[in-house]
Amino acid sequence: MQDIIVIGAGIAGVPAAYELTRWLGSTARITVVSDREYFHFVPSNPALAVGWRVESDIALPIKPHLEGRGIDFVHGSVTAIDADCSRIVVDGARELSYDSIVIACGAVPRWREIPGLAKLHSVLDLEQALATRKAYERFASRSGPIVIGAAPGASILGSVYEYAFLVDADLRRRGIRRRVPISIITPEPYSGHLGIGGSALRESLTHALAAHDIQWIGNAETIGAAEDAIQVARHTDGGRAKKESIPYVFGVYWPRFGGIPALTNSALPTDAHGLLKVDQYLRSEQYENVFAAGICIAPSQASPTPVEVGLPRTVDAIQEEVRIAAHNLVASLRGQPLRSVAIEHAQRVMGTGQDQAAYMSALRVPVGDITGLKQGRWVYEAKKEFENRFLNMVMFGFEHGSPVGALIRTIRSTAATGSGVIRHHGRQLVLELDQSIYAEVVAMATVLSQSSSSFASGLLTAAIQEAKTCLTETERTEVQRRIEETLITALQKEEEERLQFEDGAS
């Protein structure tokens, strides 16, 4: 039996463990090691930090879901990686050996590269996002200028814009936006560059920033942070730099990322920032049994800019890395050909474009009615749906990421009910749908040459059966008990009606 370790239980680590389990089954012992006992959907941290999400919306304990799929879980920090002896050390004491390993540990912020930057708020992890939300609530009672920025080399610039627009919308909802100037400080040469260039987002984002009265400060090298001001050097294409001081009362920043200490202190080849160097197969350049996925991987060379801008890593791109890394690990065990990963520039643009819908959603949020969105409602809801879908896949497996499962999670986290109403009509139950859903049912039934009633009944039956698979064992048992109870009650009622009819006839 092969011993395989996955370092990390995040957006890369959990799907990697699931994928390996799917490929290898009982022929491998898969162990996930993480310093966090929970999984959380990192892209939703900006919304959590302004109070538009709560912790239970985006985080869940991970051990039950891993062990439910036969995956071992070890809670602890990886403090050393001995690639020569194929073993890791957890919490400085416990040693775990492996035949193959997937490094999906994410990265750590390099706050100390810039003096004073560590004193600012951030939304990089769950604890930081929650702390930032508390600080934001305190700030909202006194107001003042807000600075939202990214250091040179930062690679999650989409979240910078998302957070800025969320804060803008939230402050307008509170009625205090006029008292709070908002500035974005970024190393990008123009808004919407995001580390990949192109002009797909440039014009619309520039107009949106102006429309929402958000100041954009680009080509900015952040060089220091004091208690009341951010020091930057504004660069030009000619190589000159002008120093400025940007005042703030509330500041949130995204730093450059680097490798975790266990990685930087190991014999594994890394770049200047401690991120793992891999080949075209997402395998370590030096060790054939070491694979990687996610932001722990050293990025390819970015296009030159006056101030360094990191390459973005989208959720979709990371999932593709996970699939390829898992495939190649399994192929290496079986002596099969490996797949070459080539996330070309165009694919990066496409992946980032998909994520743009998420972090640009706040551009369309009407400030007067957050819950009654009109224009752009689909964009705001799309991010929530994406969030629910991913968490649903964590709970039920990445091969089971259906909208039905996402609906079950949504129902669990909110008290919302659907738009239909079930009514008793004689001995039948009639589901009354709203007009748009009814139109979809009729249209699909017509195309498939079915009656609308039988087609709707079939859809509902299939959805119910799938929904049952998304429940816990306890919930399924309770559902079955209630089904039997309902059927018995119905049979008793029928028997009473039959006896009344026979008595009347006699």
In a domain, 399, yes or no: no
Domain carrying residue 426: 421-505
In a domain, 212, yes or no: no
Question: What is the bridge-based pairing of β-strands 87-90 and 250-254?
Answer: unpaired
In a domain, 498, yes or no: yes
Contacts of 49 by beta carbon, 8 Å cutoff, 6+ apart: 123, 129, 130, 132, 133, 136, 163, 252
The whole-number pLDDT of residue 422 equals: 62
Please report where in the chains the tokens 């102006």 appear, as a residue.
Answer: 210
- Other beta carbons within 10 Å of 197: 18
The arrangement of strands across the sheet holding 87-90 comes to: 78-82, 87-90, 94-97
Query: If DSSP codes are grouped into helix, strand and coil, which group holds residue 51?
Result: coil
Residue 492, both tokens: 């008793």
In a domain, 432, yes or no: yes
Question: What is the bridge-based pairing of β-strands 28-34 and 72-75?
Answer: parallel
The whole-number pLDDT of residue 407 equals: 63
The whole-number pLDDT of residue 410 equals: 61
In a domain, 328, yes or no: no
Kindly give the residue spans of alpha helices, DSSP state H, lying in 34-113.
45-49, 55-58, 63-67
The whole-number pLDDT of residue 474 equals: 81
The whole-number pLDDT of residue 430 equals: 74
In a domain, 441, yes or no: yes
CB 217, CB 232: distance < 8 Å: yes
User: How far is Cα 35 from Cα 438, in angstroms, rounded to an integer?
Assistant: 48
First to last CA, the chain: 75
pLDDT under 70 in the chain at which residues?
199-200, 301-302, 342-383, 399-429, 494, 497-506
Q: pLDDT tens for residues 333-389?
A: 999 999 998 643 334 333 333 344 333 433 334 333 333 333 333 444 556 777 877
Residue 208 host element (H or E):
helix 202-211
User: How far is Cα 470 from Cα 412, in angstroms, rounded to an integer?
Assistant: 11
User: How far is Cα 318 from Cα 282, in angstroms, rounded to an integer?
Assistant: 12
Contacts of 301 by beta carbon, 8 Å cutoff, 6+ apart: none
CB 328, CB 281: distance < 8 Å: yes
In a domain, 474, yes or no: yes
User: Which pTM does this prediction carry?
Assistant: 0.77
The whole-number pLDDT of residue 355 equals: 41
Stated length of the chain: 506
Q: How many domains does the chain have?
A: 1
The whole-number pLDDT of residue 338 equals: 94
Q: pLDDT tens for residues 396-431?
A: 777 655 666 666 666 665 554 455 666 655 556 677
User: How far is Cα 350 from Cα 356, in angstroms, rounded to an integer?
Assistant: 10
In a domain, 338, yes or no: no
Q: pLDDT tens for residues 17-28?
A: 999 999 999 999
